[in-house]
């Protein structure tokens, strides 16, 4: 097709990721201009524009393209999902949660701005996500019923049907023996649901039919869990390589993980199975259009950090 964005005959995934992630970064920058009170805006921009892999927004864009729509239509929903993800990181780092002082290579939001500003920046980002999506989709002429459906999808994934529920279960089980079923519940809700909602919302906004949307959901559910299993394996392998971990990491020592419950080899085998299942869900789609999501699944499976 001669496109220079990595979607040509031979697919260049790194280029696709960097072009799409840069577009999302610019859109986030525009979505969040400085305003008053300045400190609130600065705190929100500090975390949103700090970088990160941008996996969730790229998933939304790629799913929108998968169902045959232009990537631009998915920009507001891609920004919304990254705002929700970022607010969950801000709150997760606070002293009442995981008490982490570093995030995305710099001081956590509450370290840089203080606790109450960090808390409110997170709250404001969650609210802005839905405001931005509603306004942005309307401006682009996305049919309102698609936007409404995507709003419900993201709302559930952020709250009682996803991240907040998963985090409560995670905190409530801290230091307790955790079954594989509970570990799966925590990760499905805390991590996989938002990745799933990112992809599903992109497919909804792009005008996918119900069968396509459900295929995208099953694909994304697999890569959401895959993301966590790989994270756990990477954590364990890097932890065993680094002697004398910091006190902060010692708290994590009694945290249940897939390699601890299954063993590293079994956890890796589970990751391979999830990757196979994710790729199978893409078989019904045009191969060129499915290339970004196929490579994204492999990127998640084989990433080293």
**Residue 210 CA neighbour count, 13 Å, CB half:** 0
Per-residue binding string, ligand GRG, 41-80, x by CB under 6 A, is -----------xx-x-------------------------
Two tokens, residue 255:
């945290």
Asked if 164 is part of the footprint of ligand GRG (rule: CB under 6 A), the reply reads yes
Identify the residue among 58, 62, 84, 278 touching ligand GRG (CB under 6 A): 84
Asked if 91 is part of the footprint of ligand GRG (rule: CB under 6 A), the reply reads yes
C-alpha–C-alpha distance, residues 178 and 187, integer Å: 12
Task: State in angstroms the smallest separation of the CB of 233 from ligand GRG.
Answer: 13
Asked if 108 is part of the footprint of ligand GRG (rule: CB under 6 A), the reply reads no
Among the residue ranges 38-46, 84-92, 110-118, 140-148, the one whose residues contact ligand GRG (CB under 6 A) = 84-92
C-alpha–C-alpha distance, residues 66 and 80, integer Å: 19
Identify the residue among 75, 88, 117, 215 touching ligand GRG (CB under 6 A): 88
Task: State in angstroms the smallest separation of the CB of 159 from ligand GRG.
Answer: 6
Q: Where are the alpha helices (DSSP H) in the chain?
A: 13-31, 38-48, 55-66, 75-93, 109-113, 115-139, 144-158, 163-172, 180-187, 193-205, 210-241, 247-251, 258-262, 264-281, 287-302
Of the candidates 45, 17, 31, 248, the residue with the CA atom closest to the CA atom of residue 133: 31
The DSSP code for 74 is: G
Kindly identify the residues of this chain, within the stretch 177-206, that bind ligand GRG according to CB under 6 A. Answer: 190-191
Residue numbers at the binding site for ligand GRG (CB under 6 A): 52-53, 55, 84, 88-89, 91-92, 97, 104, 126, 158-159, 163-164, 167, 190-191, 231
């Amino acid at each position: 097709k001669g496109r220079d964005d990595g979607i040509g005959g031979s697919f260049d995934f790194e280029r696709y990721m960097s072009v799409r992630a840069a577009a999302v970064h610019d859109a986030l920058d525009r979505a969040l201009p400085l305003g008053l009170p300045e400190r609130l805006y600065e705190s929100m921009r500090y975390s949103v524009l700090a970088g990160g892999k941008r996996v969730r927004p790229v998933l939304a864009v790629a799913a929108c393209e998968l169902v045959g729509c232009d990537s631009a239509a998915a920009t507001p929903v891609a920004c919304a999902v990254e705002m929700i993800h970022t607010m969950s990181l801000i709150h997760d780092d606070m002293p009442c949660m995981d008490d982490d002082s570093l995030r995305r290579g710099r001081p956590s939001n509450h370290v840089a701005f203080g606790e109450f500003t960090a808390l409110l920046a997170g709250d404001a980002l969650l609210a802005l996500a839905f405001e931005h999506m509603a306004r942005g989709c309307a401006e682009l002429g996305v049919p309102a019923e698609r936007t409404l459906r995507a709003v419900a999808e993201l709302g559930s994934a952020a709250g009682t049907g996803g991240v907040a529920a998963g985090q409560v279960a995670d905190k409530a089980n801290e230091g307790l023996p955790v079954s594989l079923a509970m570990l799966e519940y925590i990760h499905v809700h805390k991590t996989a649901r938002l990745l799933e909602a990112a992809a599903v919302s992109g497919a909804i906004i792009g005008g996918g039919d119900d069968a396509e949307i459900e295929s995208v959901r099953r694909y994304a559910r697999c890569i959401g869990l895959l993301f966590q299993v790989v994270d756990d394996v990477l954590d364990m392998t890097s932890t065993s390589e680094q002697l004398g971990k910091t006190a902060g990491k010692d708290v994590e020592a009694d945290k249940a993980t897939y390699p601890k419950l299954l063993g590293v080899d079994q956890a890796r085998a589970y990751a391979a199975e999830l990757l196979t299942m994710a790729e199978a869900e893409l078989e019904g789609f045009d191969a060129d259009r499915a290339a970004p999501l196929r490579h994204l699944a492999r990127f998640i499976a084989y990433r080293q950090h």
